[in-house]
C-alpha cells in the first residue's frame, strides 16, 4: 500500500503555495505524414523499432545495479544500505530487478520517460519503487521552476520530486524526455507504410515464378488441358525433393523463369533503408539489428563496442544520475553512489579474457583472487599476492637487486643436482 503522506498536502506543497505555469506535456501519440498514427503499439509493430527498444531494455536489465560506499580513494559495495537489496533484487512487491529495469528502459525507448512512485519508510529511506506509465501523469512546471507530477486517475493529486523517480531521455525543456516516436514520427511512419505496402503486394499482387508458352501455330487448347499441363508440371518440378530435375516440354512449349521486377527490387531496398533509419534514431549499429551484409567478424566486434559506448552508455549515465538525485538522501550523496556493473557485457571470448588476465597478472595490477572473482570463482589461499616483474623493480631498492642476483643455498643445491644428471 502507498503511504498516506503521498496523497496529502503539507504546508509547503504545490497545491497550497505554488502556482503552476503550465502543463509540460501529455501523451505520446503522433500523426505521421504517411497517414499512419504513431504510438507505442504501432511503433512496436515495426520490427527494427521493436528490436532496438528490446535490445536496449534487456541490456540495461541484465546489468546488476549496486550501491557503493566511498572509503577514501577506494570503493566497496554497501549491502547495509536499504537501497542495495531493493535495486539489486526487488524494487517493489511485484517486480524483480530485471523486470523493473527492462520495463523502465522500454518506456524510455518508446516515450522518453520512466516514472516511478517512491514509497518511503518513516525514516525517509526508500521502501518501494512503483512504475507508472507516462500517459497517466501530467508533468507541471511550478513557479519555483521545479517539476510537479499530477495524476488525474488519483483525484488529480500532485506529487513533488521527492515522491517521483524520473529518468528522462533527450529533452528540449528539461521537464520531460523525448523518444523517436515524438521526434521522428515520420521516419517510423514511412517504415510502417513500406511494410504495409509489402504485405499488401503479397496479399493482392500476382507473383509468378515462371510462365509456360506455346507457339501460335500449335493452336489453342482448352482450359482443362491448360490446367492439366500446369498442375502436372508443378507437381513434378516444385519443392525441395524435385530440385535440379529434368523436364520435357512438347509441341514447342517453352518455360520462362520470371525475374524480380524493378518495383520489387525497389521495395526490398526501401525496407533495408527503413532499418538503417531506425538504427540511426536509436544509435544501434546495423549488425545488432541483424543487418550484417558485407560486414566481417572484426567490424561486427567493433560495432558491438560502438553500441556499448555510444548507444548504451548514455542511458546508463541517465539512470545512475537520476537514482543518485531521487533515491539517495542529500546527507548520503558524498558517501554513497549507485552504479550499474556492465563488465559482463564487455566480456570477450575465453581466449581474449585469459590473455588479458595473463597481462594483468604479470604486470601486477590483478592478483589471482582478483581474476577468480571476475570469473565468479571462489578465492584460494595465497591468491592475494600481486606480482612485480623483475625488470620493473625500483633501482633505489638495492636489497632486492642483491637478492635477485644472489642464489639461495636451496637454489645452489638444486643446480648442483641438475648438473650431476
> pLDDT tens digits for 92-138?
999 999 999 999 999 999 999 999 999 999 988 999 999 999 999 99
Of residues 412 and 180, more confidence is placed in 180
Half-sphere exposure (Cβ direction) of 31: Cα atoms closer than 13 Å:
1
- 101 and 5 assigned to the same domain: yes
Is the pLDDT at 382 greater than 90, yes or no? no
- 368 and 228 assigned to the same domain: no
- 159 and 40 assigned to the same domain: yes
Per-residue 3-state assignment (H helix, E strand, C coil) for 240-302: CCCCCCCCCCCCCCEEEECCCCHHHHHHHHHHHHHHHHHHHHHCCCHHHHCCCCCCCHHHHHH
> pLDDT tens digits for 270-287?
888 899 999 999 999 988
Distance CA 183, CA 25 (A): 14
> Which of 257, 272, 295 is a domain's end point?
257
- 90 and 181 assigned to the same domain: yes
pLDDT of residue 293: 62
> Which of 313, 346, 379 is a domain's end point?
346
- 57 and 184 assigned to the same domain: yes
- 176 and 225 assigned to the same domain: no
Distance CA 114, CA 186 (A): 24
Of residues 222 and 112, more confidence is placed in 112
Cell representation of residue 260: 524480380
- 285 and 191 assigned to the same domain: yes
Distance CA 164, CA 175 (A): 13
Nearest CA among 149, 184, 179, 183 for reference residue 166: 149
Domain range for residue 236? 209-257
Q: Which of 247-251, 319-323, 324-328 has the lowest mean pLDDT?
A: 247-251
- 191 and 88 assigned to the same domain: yes
Distance CA 174, CA 129 (A): 22
Is the pLDDT at 12 greater than 70, yes or no? no
Half-sphere exposure (Cβ direction) of 314: Cα atoms closer than 13 Å:
12
Backbone dihedral region for residue 155 (phi beyond 0: left; psi -120 to 50: alpha; all else: beta): left
Is the pLDDT at 74 greater than 90, yes or no? no
Most confident of 35-39, 212-216, 255-259: 35-39
- How does DSSP classify residue 411? H
Nearest CA among 110, 109, 127 for reference residue 59: 109
Q: What percent of the chain has pLDDT over 70?
A: 76
- Name the pTM for this structure: 0.74
- 137 and 233 assigned to the same domain: no
Cβ-contact 103, 57 below 8 angstroms:
yes
> Which of 346, 373, 404 is a domain's end point?
346
Going by pLDDT thresholds of 50, 70 and 90, the confidence category of residue 250 is confident
- 411 and 276 assigned to the same domain: no
Give how many domains the chain has, as a whole number.
3
- 216 and 252 assigned to the same domain: yes
> pLDDT tens digits for 400-418?
656 656 667 776 677 666 6
- 338 and 363 assigned to the same domain: no
Amino acid at each position: 500500500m502507498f503511504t498516506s503522506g503521498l496523497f496529502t498536502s503539507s504546508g509547503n506543497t504545490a497545491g497550497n503555495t505554488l502556482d503552476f505555469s503550465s502543463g509540460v506535456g501529455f501523451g505520446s501519440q503522433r500523426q505521421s505524414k504517411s497517414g499512419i498514427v504513431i504510438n507505442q503499439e504501432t511503433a512496436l509493430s515495426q520490427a527494427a523499432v521493436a528490436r532496438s527498444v528490446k535490445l536496449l531494455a534487456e541490456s540495461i536489465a541484465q546489468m546488476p545495479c549496486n550501491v557503493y560506499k566511498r572509503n577514501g580513494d577506494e570503493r566497496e559495495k554497501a549491502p547495509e544500505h536499504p537501497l542495495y537489496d531493493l535495486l539489486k533484487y526487488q524494487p517493489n512487491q511485484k517486480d524483480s530487478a530485471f523486470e523493473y529495469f527492462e520495463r523502465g528502459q522500454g518506456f524510455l525507448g518508446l516515450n522518453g520517460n520512466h516514472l516511478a512512485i517512491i514509497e518511503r519508510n518513516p525514516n525517509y529511506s526508500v521502501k518501494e519503487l512503483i512504475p507508472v506509465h507516462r500517459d497517466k501523469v501530467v508533468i507541471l512546471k511550478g513557479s519555483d521552476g521545479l517539476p510537479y507530477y499530477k495524476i488525474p486517475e488519483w483525484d488529480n493529486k500532485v506529487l513533488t520530486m521527492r515522491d517521483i523517480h524520473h529518468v528522462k531521455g533527450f529533452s528540449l525543456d528539461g521537464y520531460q524526455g523525448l523518444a523517436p516516436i515524438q521526434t521522428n514520427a515520420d521516419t517510423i511512419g514511412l517504415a510502417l507504410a513500406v511494410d504495409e505496402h509489402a504485405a499488401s503486394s503479397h496479399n493482392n499482387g500476382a507473383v509468378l515464378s515462371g510462365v509456360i508458352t506455346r507457339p501460335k501455330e500449335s493452336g489453342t487448347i482448352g482450359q482443362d488441358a491448360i490446367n492439366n499441363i500446369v498442375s502436372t508440371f508443378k507437381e513434378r518440378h516444385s519443392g525441395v525433393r524435385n530440385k535440379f530435375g529434368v523436364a520435357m516440354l512438347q509441341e514447342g512449349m517453352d518455360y520462362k523463369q520470371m525475374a524480380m521486377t524493378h518495383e520489387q527490387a525497389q521495395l526490398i531496398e526501401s525496407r533495408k533503408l527503413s532499418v538503417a533509419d531506425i538504427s540511426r534514431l536509436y544509435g544501434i549499429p546495423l549488425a545488432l539489428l541483424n543487418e550484417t551484409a558485407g560486414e566481417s567478424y572484426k567490424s561486427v566486434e567493433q560495432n558491438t563496442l560502438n553500441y556499448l559506448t555510444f548507444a548504451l552508455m548514455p542511458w546508463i549515465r541517465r539512470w545512475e544520475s537520476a537514482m543518485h538525485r531521487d533515491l539517495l538522501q542529500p546527507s548520503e550523496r558524498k558517501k554513497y553512489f549507485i552504479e550499474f556493473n556492465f563488465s559482463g557485457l564487455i566480456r570477450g571470448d575465453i581466449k581474449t579474457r585469459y590473455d588479458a588476465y595473463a597481462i594483468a597478472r604479470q604486470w601486477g595490477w590483478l592478483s589471482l583472487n582478483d581474476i577468480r572473482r571476475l570469473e565468479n570463482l571462489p578465492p584460494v589461499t595465497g591468491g592475494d599476492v600481486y606480482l612485480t616483474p623483475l625488470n620493473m623493480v625500483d633501482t633505489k631498492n638495492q636489497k632486492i637487486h642483491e637478492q635477485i642476483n644472489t642464489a639461495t643455498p636451496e637454489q645452489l643445491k638444486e643446480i648442483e643436482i641438475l648438473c650431476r644428471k
